[in-house]
Amino acid sequence: MANLQLFQSSRGAQAPAANAVNEADGDAYLRDPRSALALYAATGCLNGTYYADAATQLAATLALCESVPAEFVARVAIHARQQSHMKDMPALLLAHLANRDGDVLEKAFARVIDNGRMLRNFIQIVRSGVTGRKSLGSRPKRLVRQWLASASTEGVLGAAVGGNPSLADVVRMVHPRPEDATRDALYGWLLGRSYAPAALPESVRAYEVFKSDPRGDLPDMPFPYLTSLPLSKAQWKSIAMRGTWQATRMNLNTFARHGVFSDKEVVGVVAKRLRDPKAIAQARVLPYQLMVAYRNVSADMPERIVDALQDAMEIATRSVPKLHGKVVVAVDVSGSMASPVTGYRKGATTVVTCVEVAALMVASLRRANPAIRVMPFDTEVREVRLNRRDSVMTQAKTLAGMIGGGTAVSAPIAKLAMQKAKVDLVVIVSDNQSWVDTRGGVGATETMRQWQAVRAINPKARLVCIDLQPYATSQTVEGTAGVTHIAGFSDAVFELLADAARGDTAGQWIERIEATPL
């Protein structure tokens, strides 16, 4: 009799053989270079991850850039900035283009470099030499000058917050030609050179007067220009009353320390701002950033503020689609998912983990789709009972509290196959680094084998893998047996998920990126 361990029969169509080993030493499939680059751009923050350090991530990204057309690199940069709300990766992709194809760089530049932080990121990366050059060159200098010329006074002042390089360094590099006396004076003020005080923008003139005698009304300057000054409690209240949405979110504890929230009127204004749908949309807030704010609020924070943060989370995730049919959402709660979602960087590591972001997604989906089946897993499926009336924050906390164990991405799919479950859509939220269920280089991954068994029972079922970390391999083959991959942790993931659930292949992730006009 033949060896049954080698020649056992399996349900469903033949799954493709694994062709790679993942970072956890498990059998896997190598991603298509386009999909891999898009994944790195949507999830990579150029920090260390659970399985790879920052230098490895950088090298992999640049190698992927070289393996695809320059136009696709530009489209990925635009998508990563506008849809995934990333910062460092889009700037890196533009820096690559600056050394590769100036015409393509020019087409994408203004759509990626949409604020001063992005401008300084781009220049810092170019000057580091990692993309092949250390000088900006004539075309990038011209593009930077154009950005400065089109920026409002508020935009220039905002860009001047931060360093490495500072905006003054940028101005010295590119030598912009001021279009009027006001901009000439503003550049002189930034550079510490002589300027005509009367020609300064009104807000800057008021700021210079205020610095010499910080009493009375505050000048209309960005938040960071004021906080280093000796301000009174009334002045701190004024800052809180007029702050932007993002500045408010990031400085709630600072306001509390300065006694701002002893005034009920201020509490009301801040709470209303935090839950303002228009302000939330304009801030392009990521759900995990709201979780950071919620987790970090001081013990004496007014309940109205804490409640407003929960309301903001509900609003930020309201783009969650209605998913029709029998839907299963499997969330990876294995040990590697305890790593920070934006990676490790000394002094800049987020407190929010991959599992918390995954749990946020699952809880958000469940709120819009209360009938979905939730299957947490590590090496096996874990049981959980969620109260659908709980907030997204509370449900996410329950799921994230299950963290621990090895990774077997196949576990929830194998359970569905064993149960001969009727399903229309299976969603897996994971870092995709399965290793417990590997088959030692023989045939397909266990995940693909089990998915083919599920498809034998449900021929039209679809599998959507939402990837949270930048790795070049996967447990499933995109485009095979109804499999779709999506990457990222912004609310744009939900729209892509809705397309995939409908079987809209024209709206799939890579196809959308390819359709981005240049």
Domain that holds residue 467: 15-32+319-514
Give a yes or no: residue 196 inside a domain. Answer: no
Give a yes or no: residue 49 inside a domain. Answer: no
Confidence class for position 495, pLDDT limits 50, 70, 90: confident
Give a yes or no: residue 130 inside a domain. Answer: no
Give a yes or no: residue 184 inside a domain. Answer: no
User: For 108-163, what is each residue's pLDDT tens digit?
Assistant: 999 999 999 999 999 999 999 999 988 898 999 999 999 999 999 999 999 998 88
Residue 486, helix vs strand vs coil: strand
Q: Which amino acid is at 498?
A: A
Least confident of 8-22, 69-83, 248-262, 390-404: 8-22
Contacting residues for 249 by C-beta, under 8 A, at least 6 apart: 274, 283, 285, 289, 290, 293
| Structural contact between residues 206 and 220, judged by C-beta atoms closer than 8 angstroms | yes
Least confident of 14-23, 387-396, 452-461: 387-396
Report which listed range, 136-150, 273-287, 489-503, is most confident: 136-150
Average pLDDT score over residue span 314-331: 85
Of the candidates 101, 94, 58, the one whose C-alpha atom is nearest the C-alpha of residue 76 is 94
Is pLDDT at 395 greater than 90 in this prediction? no
Give a yes or no: residue 416 inside a domain. Answer: yes
pLDDT at residue number 348: 60
Max CA distance (Å), the chain: 96
What are the Cα distances from residue 239, in Å, to 226, 281, 302? 9, 22, 18
Give a yes or no: residue 406 inside a domain. Answer: yes
Give a yes or no: residue 256 inside a domain. Answer: no
Q: Is 46 left (phi over 0), alpha (psi -120 to 50) or beta?
A: left
Is pLDDT at 232 greater than 50 in this prediction? yes
User: For 203-213, what is each residue's pLDDT tens digit?
Assistant: 999 999 999 88
- pTM value is 0.88
pLDDT at residue number 12: 54
Give a yes or no: residue 225 inside a domain. Answer: no
Domain count, the chain: 1
d(CA 508, CA 504): 7
CATH code for the domain in which residue 20 is found: 3.40.50.410
